[in-house]
Structure 1
Amino acid sequence: MAEIVAAQVIQDFALIMVVAAVMALVSYKLKQPMIIGFIVAGMIIGPHTPPFSLILHPEILNLLAEIGIVLLLFVVGLEYPIAKLRAVGRKALIIAFAEAFGTFGLGIAAGQAMGMTLFDSMFIALAISVTSTVVLSQVLKEFGIDKSDIASLVLGVTVIEDIIIVSTLAVLQSVASSGDLSLSDIGLSIGLVLAFIGGALFIGSKTVPRFVDLVGRTNHFDVFLVAILGVAFGLSFLANQLGISVAAGAFFAGVLVAESKAHATARVLTSPLKDMFAALFFVSIGALMDISKLPLFIVPALIFIGVSFGAKFTTVYLSAKSQGLSKKTSLQAAFGSSASGGELALVTAKGGADVGATSGFVLPMVGAMTIITSFLSPYVVKFGWKISEKLAPETPKADNDKDGNP
């Protein structure tokens, strides 16, 4: 019996990878983000797609998704060493907080206005607050502006935003797990998350980098890879035991490994694993999406996309202007930041489903919004840059300050 199950799991895994590869190639040919191809691949093979599921063991999808979350967020964290976070200027910090919490608040209001439950509204609101660092950086690179000052500002905003989203998700999951929305319980959850982050950064920064460097000096890449994966899954497990999102644990594990002298080697070794399990994560999310609910949520999804774009654009533009940036720079930052959702939006939606806090339509709704916004992202940025050039053809030198921000 065990041999039959093992054979079926291998069959499922093979099917997932083959269909994902085909859809990734289709996305590449159509010049669309790979994330779209992977989600569609999941929809094709998933248990909710008629006439029947191509996957024999749907429960494996959740396992693959969880592993994918850990590796995806760990590698994201590798890009954010503490020194880099300190280097992000005051302007990017202020803009990121205004954008994240402004969009989050308006998203909750929109969800409540449509009659959704409070937790549905909160998790969707957090999901639409995300701006995909991966998608945005690819778009900026395609347009040849990834090395410009405005690109540095926008990507700096997304760096801080990622940390805000991951931390807020941890708080939301902690509160949702208890089901208590009292101020004392919310305060306890926030305190727990802050204590975890503070402890991880304070204690971890004194131990993890030294451990990673010690293992790195063996010059055995297999031992080194096992060690850093141990850090990633170990901190994720600790976060989970504390009732905090595994995504938060994995992200800050990456931040700590990034502090080591061997961080470049860690990034090279984990990148292939991240690519594979990120693909599995997006495919799994697509498969877990009940597309039969599409008629029920497509209109609310379009409303949330509109709320997301309007909230991000307005908050980024106004906060950028309040920091003394020119009209052109503020407009470009606003269009760039409002362009797309992404991988963290899906992590957020799944986080709500994992603790049983959200309704069945939330995950497919966020998946649909991710596909739509990822598709529109290049066009939004291109249109935004043209509009910015027409409305404000010159960027004043006053935009450059001692913080190094454009």
Structure 2
Amino acid sequence: MGGAFIAAAVLARLGGRIGLPTIPLFILAGMLLGPHTPGYVLVHDPHELEMLSALGLVLLLFYLGLEFHMDDLKTGGRQMALAGGAYLALNVSAGFGFGMALGWGLSEALVLAGVLGISSSAIVTKVLVDLDRIGNPESRPILGIIVVEDIFLALYLAALQPVISGADSVGSAVAQGGKAFGFLLLLAAAARWGTKLIGRLIATKDDELLVISFLGAVVLVAGIAEEFGVADAIGAFMVGLMLGQTGSGDRIRELVHPLRDAFGAIFFFAFGLSIDPGDLPLVVWPVLIAAVITVAMNVLAALVAARIYGFGRGPAANVATTLLARGEFALILATMSANAALDERLGPFIAGYVLVLAVLAPLAAGRSHWLARYLPRIGEQKPVTNG
């Protein structure tokens, strides 16, 4: 664990001197020191960091929930649903069509629909934090789309498992989906009506007790969420949503920063450990084509979001580039497809696709003004002048 932190820190410092974002450098550190590359192997089994990696993802999404105010959900629910629905419709359908065009099989196409369709909540969150854009107006639809995606993926995973495993259990899939949706409704109700009670329970003047309290709450609820078939990330997000509205919200946001950054780095490092560079040349063309499709669909979805929210070209470009990254959900699907003995090309493809977009997304987001020059003026308002 110490070696992982040091390796990630050294590469990030070197990359920072030439303007590279930290996320792909953390991933690169994992690749270089993992079991799939020549030279010194720091971690022989990526599963050794599995718990720390999961904690990093949970804390990243918890922080996202802290920054996403309930007022945004209450006042922008319809816009959020429209923007998120449009994003999913464009990207998931494009992913399914791409999978069918490859000819790998129907189950494989359903897996690719999810891989190409869902953004990485962890990477998107890290990009917003690194670029100091959490408070930007366009971050509201970005976070809203992530929420819609997380709700969708919880149900998608429950429905997809019996399909790709070849089991004829539609009733079981419906029951699992219903259980997951019920738990999400319970969390949403607690976030909507239980804030005052939760605030009184967690309130304390002692920073040490506050850290222990919110860390225990977020990890516990994330674990319970998994038992109900809901992604631990969305459980962590909902806890952040609740605690962010309490009187301790500002202190929690400050105290969680070092935890979020440290364990977030381990999450990306552990992802790099799982990538075997030797498998990537076998799927290089499908990976590049899929990346181009994703860029195109993200631009279209961003233009739709700009029209819904009344944004100009700059915010639309930020939406398009920030949501490019794919990550943790794609890795879950890769594991599911391997367990279901699907086409063996899926694993290398998903690893290569995620790595390309994990590198491209932070770079593109930091230079989104280049894309903004070529976007139409959808939703852009005329300037107001005095007199």
Task: Tell me, yes or no, whether TM beats 0.5.
Answer: yes
Secondary structure (helix, strand or coil) at the match of 1:54 reads coil
Instruction: Pick the aligned partner of 1:276 from 256, 262, 269.
Output: 262
Q: Does 1:300 align with 2:286?
A: yes
Give the equivalent residue in structure 1 for 2:374: 387
1:230 is matched with which residue?
Answer: 216
CA distance in 2, matches of 1:25, 1:51: 22
Determine the structure 2 residue equivalent to 1:172: 156
Q: 1:398, CA displacement in angstroms?
A: 9.8
> What are the residue-to-residue correspondences of 1:315-326 with 2, within 5 Å?
315-318=301-304, 320-321=306-307, 323=308, 325=310
CA deviation after TM superposition for structure 1 residue 87, in Å: 3.4
Matched, 1:351 2:332: yes
Matched, 1:195 2:185: no
Q: Are 2:61 and 2:233, in contact at CA under 8 Å, matched by a contact in 1?
A: yes
Letter in 1 for 2:381: P
Deviation at 1:35, TM superposition (A): 0.6
| Identity over aligned pairs, percent | 22
The question of whether the paired residues in 1 share the 8 Å contact of 2:202 and 2:214 is answered with no
Q: Is the 8 A contact 1:103 1:129 kept in 2?
A: no
Question: Structure 1 stretch 192-201 or stretch 37-46: which is displaced more?
Answer: 192-201
Q: Secondary structure at the match of 2:321?
A: coil
In structure 2, distance between residues paired with 1:347 and 1:306: 20
The answer to whether structure 1 residue 366 and structure 2 residue 354 are counterparts is yes
Whether the 8 Å CA contact 1:317–1:333 is kept in 2: the answer is: no
Residue 175 of structure 1 deviates from its aligned partner by: 2.7
The SS at the match of 1:338 is helix
Counterpart pick for 2:143 among 159, 171, 180: 159
Is the deviation greater in 355-364 or in 110-119?
355-364
| Cα distance in structure 1, aligned partners of 2:67 and 2:353 | 29
Match of 1:10 in 2: none
Is the 8 Å Cα contact of residues 24 and 37 (structure 1) preserved in structure 2? yes
- Give the number of aligned pairs: 370
Q: Which moved more, 1:72-81 or 1:310-319?
A: 310-319
Aligned residue among 31, 34, 42 for 2:19: 31
Q: Which residue identity does 2:321 align to in structure 1? A: A
Amino acid at match of 1:192: K
Cα deviation digits, residues 157-198 of structure 1 (max 9, x gap): 111111012112212332344445876555444433321111
Unaligned runs of 5+ in 1: 1-12, 400-406
Q: Cα deviations across residues 318-346 of structure 1 (Å, max 9, x unaligned)? A: 5644x595xxx454444322214467x31
Q: 1:277 to 1:138 in 2, by over 3 A?
A: closer
- In the other structure, the counterpart of 2:55 is 67
Structure 2 residue aligned with 1:8: none
Instruction: Pick closer, same or farther for the CA change 1:54–1:64 going to 2, 3 Å.
Output: same
CA 1:311–1:182 in structure 2 vs 1: closer, same or farther (change >3 Å)? Answer: farther
Change (3 A) 1:365 1:311: closer
**Which of 234, 239, 245 in structure 1 is aligned with 2:225?**
239
Counterparts of 1:80 and 1:303 in 2: how far apart (Å)? 34
The amino acid of 1:26's aligned partner reads: L
Partner SS, residue 194 of structure 1: helix
User: Match of 2:113, as an amino acid?
Assistant: M
- Tell me, in whole angstroms, the C-alpha distance in 1 between the residues paired with 2:199 and 2:324: 30
Which residue does the alignment assign to 2:318?
A: 336
The separation in 2 between residues aligned to 1:64 and 1:121, in whole angstroms, is 27
Distance 1:181 1:246, change over 3 A: farther
**TM-score under structure 2 length normalisation:** 0.84
2:383 and 2:239 map into 1 onto residues whose CA distance is 38
Separation in 2 of the partners of 1:171 and 1:29? Answer: 42
Q: How does 1:119-268 map to 2 (within 5 A)?
A: 119-127=110-118, 132-135=124-127, 138-139=130-131, 151-152=136-137, 154-178=138-162, 179=165, 184-203=171-190, 205-207=192-194, 210-217=197-204, 219-268=205-254
Give secondary structure in 1 for the equivalent of 2:211. helix
Aligned mates of 2:4, 2:309 — CA distance in 1: 50
State the distance in 1 between where 2:309 and 2:238 align.
32
The one-letter amino acid paired with 2:200 is D
Check conservation: 2:95, 2:109, Cα contact below 8 A: no
Q: Does 1:378 align with 2:360?
A: no
CA contact (8 A) 1:98 1:316 kept: no
Cα deviation code 1:65-109 (max 9, x no counterpart): 112122121111111232232233754542332123321221221
**Structure-2 separation of matches of 1:129 and 1:58:** 20
Q: Secondary structure at the match of 2:145?
A: helix
Aligned residues: CA RMSD: 3.1
Shift of 1:224: 1.3
Q: Residues 211, 300 of structure 1: CA spacing in aligned structure 2 closer, same or farther, 3 A cutoff?
A: same
